[in-house]
Structure 1
Amino acid sequence: MAVGPCKPLPPSMTISSFSGDVYRPAGYATLRVALEEGSRRMEREIDFIIMDAPSGYNAILGRPAIAAFQMVASTYHLCVKFPTPFGVATIRGDRAGASKCFEINARLHTDYMDPRDHALPPVEQNDHVTVADGKTVFISKNFPDNEKPALAALLFEYFDVFAWEPSDMPGIDRAVAEHRLSLKPGVAPVRQKKRASAAKNNMRFEKKSKNSWPQDSLEKSPTHCGLQMWWW
């Protein structure tokens, strides 16, 4: 197919493929597309975005093309209908061709389906440094050795400016620390029904809650408050 020079697109425009990869299009070209069924024929000029990406499809007609041809598509019947000056035309898809395109597209992106390719990198090793009052910070082992003493001395000197626990943040505005739900005005709240739990689970929950947060921090800090569940 002879395609003229591509027209430029905004530099910030990107397109995601079926595999999730992001590509930057080379531009777009306006082509005259004809669809026909026998004597029923319709032609329209369609803008195609040009991409250098592996795919099992030569071209994909999107919503602008569907609107230009006034198509009505049915995925169940694998066909589209559109009006022409000589009546309504019907174009039916080929199930064998569609399956072949799907298989080709799947083979092109087999490597991207391996979950090992998306494994998280190992966490770097850190050195524990005690600054004051049992407060511990971590310094990466990749940090230059000749600069670690100076950094540790700086943290020791200004350890009081850090918020080590919620009780160290009494001046935070409640509007910043609290989460507000987007509720519909005029709707009455409904209390969620109490759901009983097994006795062994209750003991486990109670033990975990006591170990998670000190009681004095929960009482003194304005950044933590009891949350009662409501449903609308």
Structure 2
Amino acid sequence: MNNYKTKKVFLDQGSAADIIYGDAFDRLGLKESDLKPYRGTLVGFTGGRVSVRGYVEIPTAFGEGEFFKKFQLKYLVIASRANNNALLGRDTLNKLGAIISTSHLTIKYPACNGKIGILRVDQEAARGCYLKSVALYGKKAAKESHRITGIFTQEDLRPQPLEETKSVRVKDKILKIGSRLSKNQEDRLITLLGDNLDLFAWTINDVPGIDPSVITHKLGIRPGAKPVMQARRRMSEEKDKAVQVETNKLMKALFIREVQYPTWLANVVMFREANGKWRMCTDYTSLSKLEETWRCMLIVKSPMAGDHGEDLKEAFAQLRKYSMKLNLEKCSFGIQGGKFLGFMITSRGIEVNPDKCKAILDMKSLANV
């Protein structure tokens, strides 16, 4: 660690943090100026909170020679006393590709050359560490592991479910933009949106349709597939009214028409969106011979905030060229991150939506086996 050969490193597959304990920070040649601020909270296995001095990034190497692997790791630095110098959590062990055998006190991992590296623990030293920990804190505390509930720094901030937006008036319309824009960025964005208000569909009648020579959507039914007629499903009164409203909208816009369909027949399915409104979809469960279905979604992502205006102009030009319209209720502009097709889009790229894995992230490590 930090070019020092480090002993007494505890490997904890139940911990979400890498930790440097007590005076090991000084013995690794690190200074207080190397620490970066940490705004999160470190929670022990028993639920107690642990004071964190900050975090530090240092190189950490495993193995030697042809089995050498090296990573730049982030360690939380805590003042708590411990018989170990450091702790490596599950993220680092996963990055290493480590397979741990506690009964053999051995770690195996894939080396860069395709061979298998092996790290063996000194059994006598490991037992000595445990006995000293028991003497210091008691048997229960000696087994305590840690998990992290906070974050590292602003640069590494994990994405929140959705950045807050605010409503702004653009001419006579209301649009949603990011709440973290500077005054100059906000003014330029509002001007750009005002010049392209014709691209928004304020009602379903504002959607002219796309020329069939550009694209045509159809159900790709496999030849020889047997027709399926689903039985009618009864809905609640609220859902039934929502179906009537949505159907009338589509018929009025000439998106659909009424036909007598004696062979293929599928029910509609209603589900409530996050904004509280109903969405009507078609149940293709029985029509499983279809090749594919899709929804058209669009994201304009810019590597630099200053380039976003030009990127939006290019996207708007393409939309106008093919007579495509944007759904106002689905649009947000100038945001730094948010939900998209069930994932989170941030400056780092595409990530898992934390809402969808909250239960797993909050799961505590097993106390007993």
Per the normalisation by structure 1, the TM-score is 0.43
More relative contact order in 1 or in 2 (CA 8 Å, sep 6+)?
Answer: 2
Greater C-alpha Rg? 1
